Amino acid sequence: MKYAPIDPGLFKTNRERLAKLMPPKSLAVLNSNDMLPTNADGTMRLWQNSDLFYLSGIDQEESIFLLYPDASDEKRREILFLRESNPTLATWEGHKLTKDQAREISGIKTVLWLSDFPRVFHQLMCECDGVCLNTNEHQRAVVEVETRDARFVRDCRRRYPLHDYHRLARYMHRLRMVKSDLEIDLIKNACALTAKGFRRVLEFVKPGVTEMEIEAEYAQEFIRGGGGFAYLPIIASGKNACVLHYIDNDQVCRKGQLVLLDVGASYAHYHSDLTRTLPISGRFTRRQKEVYNAVLRVFRETIRRMVPGKLSKDLQKEAEQLTENELLELGLIKKTAVKKQDPDKPAFKQYFMHGVSHPLGLDVHDVGCTTEPMQPGWVLTCEPGIYIPEEELAVRLETDILITENGNIDLMSDVPIEAEEIEQIMNARGASE
């Protein structure tokens, strides 16, 4: 693995927390993700199932974890099943985890080979009353490719139709929303790597460089630090920044334009999410700075309101009201338009059309109970923006916020954000060239 070993106590605690939520005499089953095919005989790298990793720390294909807290045999209350290696597999794919290595990583004492799974699973199914099976229940998920978990759900219900079945996702969402101290440390590592990448790019951006060259600068910093991209990077110059999920990253950055950088690092499967907007020439124009500072004011005030007890839907409404006020000041919308607007199609939506916050953790858009009030331990993004296609101008600012009992902490507070500081750093670079 590229990252430093994680304290197995993290995964042990996570399993203990899940066990307390599960119905009596129920068995939870989690499968690793598939290694997805490309074309011909190609495959993508494994992107591990977040729930499996959360409970075990195992980052290997074809792994299965069983949690049965009420098992009569203590050795069968936690069982990890792994793919067994052989000389041919080792030659073609390299090292696979040994049982001892898996025990060290996960803290799970009972580790068996995958070939033992059918027999052991059947024995446990004959003992348990209910089964907790895993599915992707993220509210924005578009599931078109059947996962290993989905195939397992179908097969299990066919073979054991009379058991009580439960949705594991509703327990996992509740658990994963509140981050432990160890998880927060891993997220901070990802944030620190992102900050390094951004500072590198801050000294690299200038007229004539391409969006893909900027992406390469981030890649060098992230990979060298033992991480990688948390999501497909958005390097959007000029009018490209008005496309919210622009990922082509193939245009030349031109004098007088802004470039929007929505790029975050992943470290040990934990993610960060950062957006900054830079003047390619090293200085904002008067109009660019007006829009930039308008977004910055919304950014700072929205962060201030991210406190325990706040509902995400209320935070969204407040951010929208703040943005509407700024749009009026910028002359982008008029008071008469606001008074006459359709409540379902408010005027501000023309220039700010996305959510201002989402959970962050093992997934960039992490799972969680966002209909509940914010609680200490939640990690959320804050990302207001203003998009003006007719001016080929867009500004988005984003950071990662840890909710605490006493307010919140900006995990990216050391990343330059003030317009003047950004200009100073970019022009100091130019003076030394």
Give the tens place of pLDDT for each residue, 296-313: 999 999 999 999 999 999
pLDDT, position 143: 85
Interval 256-270: pLDDT, tens: 999 999 999 999 999
Contact 284, 295 (CB under 8 A): no
Interval 316-338: pLDDT, tens: 999 999 999 999 999 999 999 99
Residue whose tokens read 């109009």: 287
Mean pLDDT of 115-137: 97
Cα first-last separation, the chain: 38
- Residue with more model confidence, 431 or 26: 26
Give the pair of three-digit tokens for residue 219: 């890649």
The model scores a pTM over 0.85: yes
Give the pair of three-digit tokens for residue 235: 């390097």
Q: What is the mean pLDDT of the chain?
A: 96
In single-letter form, the type of residue at position 269 comes to: H
Contact 358, 365 (CB under 8 A): yes
Give the number of other CB atoms < 10 A from CB of residue 84. 16
- Whether the per-residue pLDDT at 280 is higher than 70: the answer is yes
Intervals of CATH 3.40.350.10 along the chain: 9-174
- Whether the per-residue pLDDT at 362 is higher than 90: the answer is yes
Mean pLDDT of 381-407: 97
Interval 56-95: pLDDT, tens: 999 999 999 999 999 999 999 999 999 999 999 999 999 9
Intervals of CATH 3.90.230.10 along the chain: 181-432
Mean pLDDT of 93-107: 97
- State phi, psi for 408 to the nearest 5 degrees: -150, 165
pLDDT, position 142: 87
Query: For residues 239 and 225, what is the distance between their CA atoms, to the nearest angstrom?
Result: 32
Residue whose tokens read 């390619």: 280
- Residue with more model confidence, 37 or 429: 37
pLDDT, position 298: 98
- State phi, psi for 197 to the nearest 5 degrees: -60, -40
Dihedral sign for Cα atoms in the order 335, 340, 342, 343: positive
Short-list 282, 256, 271, 292, CA closest to 384: 292
pLDDT, position 430: 55
Give the pair of three-digit tokens for residue 264: 């975050």
pLDDT, position 385: 98
Beta strand 407-410 with 399-404 is: antiparallel
431 band by pLDDT with thresholds 50, 70 and 90 = low
426 band by pLDDT with thresholds 50, 70 and 90 = very high
- Whether the per-residue pLDDT at 433 is higher than 60: the answer is no
197 CB-side CA count, 13 A: 37
- State phi, psi for 327 to the nearest 5 degrees: -65, -35
9-174, which class in CATH?
A: alpha beta
Architecture of domain 181-432: Alpha-Beta Complex (3.90)
Contact 316, 374 (CB under 8 A): no
Interval 183-213: pLDDT, tens: 999 999 999 999 999 999 999 999 999 999 9
Look at residue 91 and give its three-state secondary structure: helix
Residue whose tokens read 């993508």: 44
pLDDT, position 334: 95
- Whether the per-residue pLDDT at 429 is higher than 80: the answer is no
Short-list 133, 203, 207, CA closest to 170: 133
